[in-house]
């Protein structure tokens, strides 16, 4: 009986050790991640682009930079809230750096356009990079300087102090790969198909390819 009890206790102790190791591993992984918030026009497109990048753990569509708490998509796109459509990118800096992500970002948008992006016009569709401290600001400024030199044109994408990031409604998350059916001007389509039709019609990839050529990271021609 005593031997059996000792075996039970030993098994329970082993299980507790395993659970503890898993919890510590999870905490360590969480501590190793970093966040980058950028605005690049339609957040569906930015989310789609950056979820392809090795080292990016997640990309979430949302809003930031405005004065209204927890705004809706309808409020932001109507104008007047001051928000940008933005994407919060969670990444593993051991696999991809902030500088590398910003290099990709600036070459995936039209950073010379101060009035919006591609077919989407207005303040909520402007580009921006959001930073939380001087070190992040320096990295962002270096990325802009290098992109400007490579492009040979003035870049108007601002570096702004980070504000609260509000996730967009569930409807907008992972839009580009969703099989949910929505009604479009072309008739019923999956969100994934509707997204592709929108992106093509908006001219995003065509303009990015025109600007950046082989350096455009997410277009079919790169």
Q: Is 202 marked active-site?
A: no
- Return the residue matching tokens 């010379």: 112
Q: Which residues pair with 61 in a beta bridge?
A: 87
CA-based torsion, 106, 110, 112, 114: positive or negative: negative
- Strand 159-161 relative to strand 127-131: parallel, antiparallel, unpaired? parallel
Q: In whole angstroms, what is the distance from residue 171 CA to residue 165 CA?
A: 17
Backbone angles phi, psi at 201, to 5 degrees: -65, -30
How buried is 119 (Cβ within 10 angstroms: 0-12 exposed, 13-18 middle, 19+ buried)?
middle
Tokens encoding 188: 């019923």
> Out of 22, 42, 45, 119, which one is annotated catalytic?
42
Nearest residue to 64 (alpha-carbon basis) of 128, 111, 114: 128
Catalytic center residues = 42
């Amino acid at each position: 009986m005593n031997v059996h009890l000792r075996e039970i206790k030993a098994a329970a102790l082993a299980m507790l050790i395993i659970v503890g190791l898993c919890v510590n591993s999870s905490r360590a992984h969480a501590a190793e991640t970093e966040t980058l918030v950028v605005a690049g026009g339609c957040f569906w497109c930015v989310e789609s682009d950056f979820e392809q990048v090795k080292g990016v753990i997640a990309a979430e569509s949302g809003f930031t930079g405005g004065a209204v708490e927890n705004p809706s998509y309808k409020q932001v796109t109507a104008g007047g809230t001051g928000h940008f459509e933005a994407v919060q990118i969670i990444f593993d800096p051991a696999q991809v750096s902030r500088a590398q992500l910003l290099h990709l970002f600036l070459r995936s948008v039209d950073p010379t356009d101060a009035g919006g992006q591609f077919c989407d016009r207005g303040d909520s569709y402007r580009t921006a990079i959001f930073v939380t401290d001087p070190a992040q600001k320096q990295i962002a400024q270096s990325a802009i300087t290098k992109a400007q030199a490579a492009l040979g044109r003035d870049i108007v994408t601002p570096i702004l102090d980070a504000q609260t990031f509000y996730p967009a409604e569930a409807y907008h998350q992972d839009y580009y790969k969703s099989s949910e059916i929505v009604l479009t001007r072309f008739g019923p389509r999956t969100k994934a198909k509707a997204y592709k039709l929108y992106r093509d019609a908006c001219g995003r990839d065509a303009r990015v390819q025109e600007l950046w050529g082989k350096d455009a990271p997410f277009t079919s021609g790169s």
